[in-house]
A and B are shown apart, each in its own frame.
Chain A
Amino acid sequence: MIGFLARRLLELAGTLAVASFLVFGAVYLAPGRPETFLLGGRGASPQLLAAIRSQYHLDDPFLVQYGRWLGDVLTGRFGESVQYRSSVLGLVGSRLPTTVTLIGMSLVLVLVFGIALGWLGAVRGGAADSGVLVGTSLALGTPSFVAGVVMQSYLAIRLHWFPDQGSGTGFADLLYHLVLPSIALSLYWIGMLARVTRTAMLDVLGQEHVTVARGRGVPERQVLRRHVFRNALGPIVTTAGLIVTGLVISTVLVEAVFTLNGVGAFLEKSVTVKDFPVVQAVALLIVAVFVLVNLVVDLLYPFIDPRVALGAREGDA
């Protein structure tokens, strides 16, 4: 266990190191000269340009620049936003609560409704199952920003049930402002999780041990919970990992629809104005979340299914 954890953490650090190299290298290779980006399109005298080049060490070799940047990042200095002229860490940090709350609310919705609908389809069959299949097909064709725009038009603007934009003031108000965004964000992933849950449960339902349990007179509720769902958890947890990362990147869209002041909208605006220090930092943050979630899923696996060795997921074989 300790050895596995150490190896995985090392791999994680390796992935992040290479990812940081890619993110930094991409900006280095970008067409156009970095000092013009740093000026944000404003004209400048040759003296100012030279001053900027030396302030940002732009005349150093690539690897030296990368090394300095990585050293800064490792000590928590992500540099200064070109657009706002203040620390990237502070700018991202102040927007993090909105985004984390949005992701949290959406994740709860996805887990509750995704599993419930998948369970319903697998266990009930018939019309309920057809309904689940059609509903999930529709959900899987509906990107979060489309769902957001449609809900915004009818539930917020026409019916005034919910605010149409902004994050509100205070935590309770924030939760109220995030109701529609979190539904918009979760719809697609509810469809995906329901599909996976349904298939996984149908797979287990066809196995002999379920027939045996029923034959021995175990109550149906208990059969479903302990014998079927418990065994179907593997694919569900793997998908849940995928969903967390999907929610993280989709916040960019939903925050744009509802003009929320979160990290996703910040990334989008920074991309538009080529505010590279912010883009680099947020991109690294997203990759870090991605890698961490994968690690957590791998660590959870042996607890879900003791037959699976640590680090080997189902289907790897």
Chain B
Amino acid sequence: MRLYRTCLVFAGALVLIALAAPLLAPHDPNGVDLGAAVSGPSAVHPFGADGSGRDTLSRLLIGSRTALLGPIGVVVFSTVAGAAVGVAAGWRGGWLDTVLSRGSELLLAFPALLVAMLFVALYGPGLLTPVVALSLAYLPYVSRLARGLTVSEKRRPYLDSYRVQGFSGLAICVRHLVPNIAPTVLAQSTVNFGYALLDLAALSYLGLGLPPLTPDWGAMINDGQDAMMQGHFLPAVIPCVAIVLTVVAFNVVGGAWADRISRRAA
């Protein structure tokens, strides 16, 4: 419980930091201070500077924006699209269910990182391409869950009673079914946030994510590796620590929510 609260506070603080990053950052994240290149922590550069003399703290703060924005995009896209596919398959059944379920199964055979790399190979790097690719890769996990929940919910009498009153299938789904399955689906999506952050950071580390000048944690690690080979560890290790702490915090919070919801449902 103490771990959960710590993580919740950390995650909340991170969101605030990301929102206020331009105000908090002491330097221009791309500003070059050659005299400070690969310097350790100092009053001017609290976390030191990287091989090109860019302030690590400023890059870390500004980088937190893309680090959170990307996974939010993936989670929103994959949840909305996945829920739509899953509910449609579970509600209509028949051939639509077969086609959609088979399609999801097929997508599951493509690891998320591979889908993202294929998309980047085709459409070039950027923020949007990896986010769309990962949303597609995560879609089957959401749709499978939503389909299962819809099928079991459909058997409940309250939905029949709406049908008898003459509501259309679409209206029943949107107004009554979706709100009832939403908590479980959203809990799964919270957990997906952590995975998406890891995958996006990995792509950005490989240089397949954001454009080179954008400060991003994954790219910072890649930049920092050169300085590391010369024995200066901070520029690479600090973003590593940021990624680990962020993912752990969001995983713990998401896991706790998922637990709470499944206990309430049981």
**A18: B residues at CB distance < 8 A:** 106
Instruction: List which B216-255 residues lie within 8 A (CB) of chain A.
Output: 221, 224-225, 228-229, 231, 233, 236-237, 240, 243-248, 251-252
**A143: B residues at CB distance < 8 A:** 198, 201-202, 243, 247
The answer, yes or no, to whether A283 is at the interface (CB within 8 Å) is yes
Contact for B244 among A138, A250, A276, CB less than 8 A: A138
**B114–A149 CB distance below 8 A:** no
| Chain A 270-289 interface mask (CB, 8 Å, partner B; 1/0) | 11101010010001001100
**B205: A residues at CB distance < 8 A:** 145, 253, 256
**A149: B residues at CB distance < 8 A:** 221, 224-225, 228, 236-237, 240
**B121–A141 CB distance below 8 A:** no
Instruction: List which B85-111 residues lie within 8 A (CB) of chain A.
Output: 105-106, 109-111
**B233–A30 CB distance below 8 A:** no
**A253–B202 CB distance below 8 A:** yes
The answer, yes or no, to whether B13 is at the interface (CB within 8 Å) is no
Contact for A279 among B118, B123, B233, CB less than 8 A: B118
Q: In angstroms, how far is the closest chain B Cβ from the Cβ of A256? A: 6
Q: In angstroms, how far is the closest chain B Cβ from the Cβ of A247? A: 10
**A141–B244 CB distance below 8 A:** yes
**B229–A164 CB distance below 8 A:** yes
**B207: A residues at CB distance < 8 A:** 272
Contact for A15 among B109, B225, B243, B248, CB less than 8 A: B109
**B243–A271 CB distance below 8 A:** no
The answer, yes or no, to whether B172 is at the interface (CB within 8 Å) is no
**A246 to B114, alpha carbons, bound, how many Å?**
11
**A250 to B111, alpha carbons, bound, how many Å?**
10
Most B C-beta atoms less than 10 A away, residue of A153, A253, A267: A153
**B247: A residues at CB distance < 8 A:** 140-143
**A158 to B244, alpha carbons, bound, how many Å?**
22
Instruction: List which A1-60 residues lie within 8 A (CB) of chain B.
Output: 15, 18-19, 22-23, 26-27, 29-31
**B123–A150 CB distance below 8 A:** no
**A30 to B121, alpha carbons, bound, how many Å?**
9
The answer, yes or no, to whether A305 is at the interface (CB within 8 Å) is no
**A249–B240 CB distance below 8 A:** no
**A146: B residues at CB distance < 8 A:** 201, 221, 240, 243-244
**A29: B residues at CB distance < 8 A:** 122
**A163 to B113, alpha carbons, bound, how many Å?**
27
Interface size, chain A (Cβ < 8 Å)? 49
Contact for B110 among A19, A142, A250, A272, CB less than 8 A: A19
**B206–A252 CB distance below 8 A:** yes
**A164: B residues at CB distance < 8 A:** 229
The answer, yes or no, to whether B48 is at the interface (CB within 8 Å) is no
**B202–A287 CB distance below 8 A:** no
**A291: B residues at CB distance < 8 A:** 109
**A291 to B109, alpha carbons, bound, how many Å?**
6
The answer, yes or no, to whether A238 is at the interface (CB within 8 Å) is no
**B117: A residues at CB distance < 8 A:** 252, 267-268, 271, 279
**A150: B residues at CB distance < 8 A:** 237, 240
The answer, yes or no, to whether B194 is at the interface (CB within 8 Å) is yes
**B111–A290 CB distance below 8 A:** yes
Chain A residue with Cβ nearest B205: A145
The answer, yes or no, to whether B208 is at the interface (CB within 8 Å) is yes
**A31: B residues at CB distance < 8 A:** 122-123
**A30: B residues at CB distance < 8 A:** 122-123
**A145–B111 CB distance below 8 A:** no
**A291 to B228, alpha carbons, bound, how many Å?**
39
The answer, yes or no, to whether B120 is at the interface (CB within 8 Å) is yes
**B248: A residues at CB distance < 8 A:** 137-138, 140-141
The answer, yes or no, to whether A99 is at the interface (CB within 8 Å) is no
The answer, yes or no, to whether A239 is at the interface (CB within 8 Å) is no
**Taking beta carbons and an 8 Å cutoff, which residues of A are in contact with B?**
15, 18-19, 22-23, 26-27, 29-31, 134, 137-138, 140-143, 145-146, 149-150, 152-154, 157-158, 164, 245-246, 248-250, 252-253, 256-257, 267-268, 270-272, 274, 276, 279, 283, 286-287, 290-291
Given A137-B248, A154-B233, A290-B109, 15 new contacts (CB under 8 A): A15-B105, A19-B110, A26-B122, A29-B122, A140-B248, A141-B244, A141-B246, A143-B198, A145-B221, A150-B237, A158-B233, A249-B111, A252-B117, A279-B121, A291-B109
24 pairs across A/B with beta carbons < 8 Å? A19-B110, A22-B106, A26-B122, A137-B251, A138-B248, A141-B245, A142-B244, A145-B221, A146-B201, A146-B243, A146-B244, A149-B221, A149-B228, A149-B240, A157-B233, A158-B233, A245-B111, A252-B206, A253-B205, A268-B117, A268-B206, A276-B121, A279-B121, A283-B114
**Taking beta carbons and an 8 Å cutoff, which residues of B are in contact with A?**
3, 105-106, 109-111, 113-114, 117-118, 120-123, 194, 198, 201-202, 205-208, 221, 224-225, 228-229, 231, 233, 236-237, 240, 243-248, 251-252
